[in-house]
Chain A
């Protein structure tokens, strides 16, 4: 049994309480949500927080709702709820695609959206999904709240824009007409981190892609949204040749490293192939060709 170093434990009763505790305890304190990233790191003593602030009682952070022009997801919403949500599946099928290949049911029962984003692992699937969907993050502190785009949320591997006295409370995803999205992942084994994964979202009208985004995991320091892909998608008419071109743009704009999961050459190839596949499915879904 791997055992963590000593730490103190506080159980927050509200968002305000959680933020107050964090402000009071300082940089050696960490929030604990589902615990499926932080606890293993603590057991391996890669993370040694002095305080854990448990936020699992914060019922106010468990929700998936529709506001006028966006979907709002509470930071404590668990993978299982994201997987099961018909609302998400209707507007953003990419979530269900991704959740089906994240870890295993035990992890999905506990792990949370907020926890996944705050871990900021370059291989993490929901970060890629939120990058793809151009999500924004609501960060609260005693001074109020601020809203940060996904691009600004991740500032490096395992680093986010959330300060020592702040808390991620909500993720907002803009709703636009004619949308379709999909996620493709290659892993060495079920439940493994992605060798590479690719999410694509498109918004279409009259058979043309008005706007589109890609989010790639495990090909750079953070999950990556590739500007040249978005540029290429804008105003394009979908075709197999076009999917191939977009895949090539994705591959040309990523910087994977060779490791145990695969060679840089293979990962670059996957960036192309998976982007091609995701784009094809996203377009089909936008056109109502796939449930």
Chain B
């Protein structure tokens, strides 16, 4: 266990040298509109690319006539799948080792699939010319309903794959089926429910896009791109397109939100690169809002049959689930290779079980590909929703208070590190204090009294509890890779002669505040104020290799790298200090920012003094090179396991079924806190996400496979008016294996909040005998549930 103390609760104005509240270094730029996003990039002679997309979900392409588009005076090129096929570029690998069409050649497999692209002198002309391309389609029956995708008589979507005769992708299982069934067979109480997590979309404010610039003589490709993982993307381009890696530079400038949507490589990026390569000019491609919603990586889309077994006293014995996963037309799940269902295996939650088993079947449908994050930590959102919903169903059956039921079943502090029945080793946890704190902040007992009174009067009030354990910070690399790239991250620190510093990261902020928190990590370790530390990230030419920012892995992996590289620099600084103070290394003590002689604090040198000596003309201790810098690559020994207790209070108008989220209490434990203000901000954002998914967000399709969520008028995301004033709190249980004891926080709230909201709504509807209702709980769906007409959303 680390000795690092929790961050002092400083104010934003105190400017701590190290951990504490600190206004974000990136904000002066961003809030003044001085950010530099991909669409701000404008190069001399730059052309614009627009993509023609399929109007239908499933059809054979009979012919494509591009002649009218080519005749448009401002059009430079029109490229079809056949053109790409001639270069061997019509197909590309997905992050899950499936293949995906860059441009369709044989048939289209989802509505809005990429069919052709136009490159023109300006964005308007490129878009206009799309209207001039004539495609003849031979319609095929679409496969829309995931439940019937494996039936014998449905069309085979992926007839491009050798020998493929059905729409099956993979089966996956975890846990011990026989042992679990045995526990179920002898249990007092078994509760079962079908629980659906509908398809949702990350919907970042900035859509995806890139500017590709291939320099004709050298062949150097510079790609400005909305990428959460610039290094991984560069290597994938090298492997796929055969471009020499040292001739590729990927730059992710400011990014307006990622949430997993900017992890995959999309056909549009490849099209822009090909266009620049062929034409010899820079080419920009930026999706519009509709393209982002209908074609890029969605999230969730799991139909989960859940069973829970318990004693009649409420001791949970086992959880079992059978999942049907809709992966769309190409398996584009972003997850480590050995984890086709991501980290869904943590569906055992925060409870000490005797047995657990999950089986999953993934299928193709005629829908957009993906299965990316949306702040889910590789499918933990689904896992936590499953267990927290079925535990509430159990509480309903046992007529037990859901908070009490959870408290009774938590893994105890002395059981950590705790190995779950599905093989995950939770590094540290102390669940009861977090739960008790949330209940105290909520005034839980008083809320239950109020609820009882209101029920007497026919008023509908609900209190929803959820408790989650996350698993974030992939690798270690031996277990976790993406397309063969081990999930580890580099970090490089250089102290300049005047004692200012630059730290270079392999990860990339999309709004998380890396430029602030990573400066604070370095500051904490070496005593240089954060404002004197420049954080460089997002440019493969200027940063060390690493796998990027998603799955809440920046602080657990790259944050550890930043701390350790700073310690490495500090060790060298100590040797230099020993020479400057003419004592042995062992006689020095470190007070943040300076080494002094033990027992004689007047004899000391600051890190700034040492930096100048490291670069100066004076002697250095024997055998020591000049300079003060270091580089490392950090390979985590385990994931970190943040957790939290959430309580949501809702009121429902019994006549209109309109749900109002009255209060939301979130107690998070992410171990050592680097910047509590940024943590709260991350939690606020995730909670808003959770309210959105629970109450309004869903990418729906009609029976022909047409996407019904193609605008933000159709795909609703919550506003300030739907969200209450968040009440946040924290406990601190450091990670024992992380150098500063920190765990990831970026996705905790998105993972933990949907079940709290749904549990609250279902709790409010208890007088109607309702035990479960599926998201999104719009007024109509709540009202239908109240009438006994609840229908699954898919």
Interface residues of A (CB under 8 A from B): 1-3, 5-6, 44-45, 104, 186, 188-193, 195, 260-263, 265-267, 269-270, 273-274
Contact = CB atoms under 8 A, between A and B. Distances in A.
Contacts of A188: 696, 716, 778-779
Contacts of A195: 779-780
B779 A186 contact: yes
A274 B127 contact: no
Interface string B776-794: 0011100110010100000
Interface in B639-668: 655-658
A262 B780 contact: yes
B708 interface: yes
B288 interface: yes
B541 interface: no
Nearest to A191: B719
A2 B719 CA distance: 23
B207 to A, nearest CB: 9
Nearest to A5: B128
A266 B780 contact: yes
A189 B717 CA distance: 8
B700 A260 contact: yes
A141 to B, nearest CB: 33
24 contacts: A1-B123, A6-B128, A44-B711, A45-B131, A186-B658, A188-B779, A189-B716, A189-B719, A189-B721, A192-B713, A192-B716, A193-B713, A260-B714, A261-B778, A261-B780, A263-B780, A263-B784, A265-B784, A265-B789, A266-B657, A266-B783, A266-B784, A270-B656, A273-B655
4 cross-chain pairs, A with B, having the tightest CB-CB distances, nearest first: A262-B780, A190-B721, A2-B288, A266-B780
A212 to B, nearest CB: 21
Contacts of A269: 783
Contact of A274 (B39, B656, B713): B656
Contacts of B127: 3
Contacts of A266: 657, 779-780, 783-784
B550 to A, nearest CB: 26
Interface in B532-561: none
B656 A186 contact: yes
B588 interface: no
B591 interface: no
B60 interface: no
A190 B780 contact: no
Interface string B699-731: 010000000100101101011011000000000
Given A3-B127, A274-B656, 14 more contacts: A2-B290, A3-B288, A6-B128, A44-B711, A104-B719, A188-B696, A189-B719, A192-B716, A261-B778, A261-B780, A265-B789, A266-B779, A267-B780, A273-B656
Given A192-B716, A260-B700, A3 B123 contact: yes
B17 interface: no
A190 B784 contact: no
Chain B at the A interface: mostly helix, strand, loop or mixed?
loop
Interface residues of B, number: 32
A139 to B, nearest CB: 29
A189 B784 contact: no
A95 B759 CA distance: 37
Contact of B779 (A2, A44, A262): A262
B172 interface: no
A267 B131 CA distance: 38
A260 B708 contact: yes
Contacts of B783: 262, 266, 269
Nearest to A189: B716
A1 B290 CA distance: 9
B780 A1 contact: no
B768 interface: no
Contacts of B170: none
Chain A at the B interface: mostly helix, strand, loop or mixed?
loop
Contacts of A263: 780, 784
Nearest to A2: B288
A190 B695 CA distance: 13
Contacts of A44: 290, 711
A262 B655 CA distance: 15
Which of A45, A104, A188, A195 counts the most chain B CB atoms within 10 A? Answer: A188
Contacts of A193: 713
B372 to A, nearest CB: 23
Nearest to B48: A3
Contacts of B124: 3, 6
A3 B718 CA distance: 26
B656 A2 contact: no
Contacts of B289: 2
B286 interface: yes
A265 B791 CA distance: 14
A189 B288 contact: no
A146 B716 CA distance: 41
Interface in B230-288: 286, 288
B164 to A, nearest CB: 34
B691 to A, nearest CB: 10
Interface in B162-196: none
A196 B150 CA distance: 39
A186 B290 CA distance: 26
A104 B288 CA distance: 22
Contacts of B39: 1
Nearest to A190: B721
A261 B778 CA distance: 8
A1 B713 CA distance: 16
Nearest to B716: A189
Contacts of B787: 265
A189 B780 CA distance: 12
Interface string B124-158: 10011001000000000000000000000000000
Interface string B20-38: 0000000000000000000
A24 B713 CA distance: 35
Contacts of A265: 784, 787, 789
Contacts of A260: 700, 708, 714
Contacts of B288: 1-3
Contacts of B131: 5, 45
B696 A189 contact: yes
A189 B722 CA distance: 7
Contacts of A2: 288-290
A25 to B, nearest CB: 21
A6 B132 CA distance: 14
A190 B779 contact: no
A191 B789 CA distance: 28
Given A2-B290, A192-B713, A262 B656 contact: no
B718 A189 contact: yes
A290 B451 CA distance: 30
A50 to B, nearest CB: 14
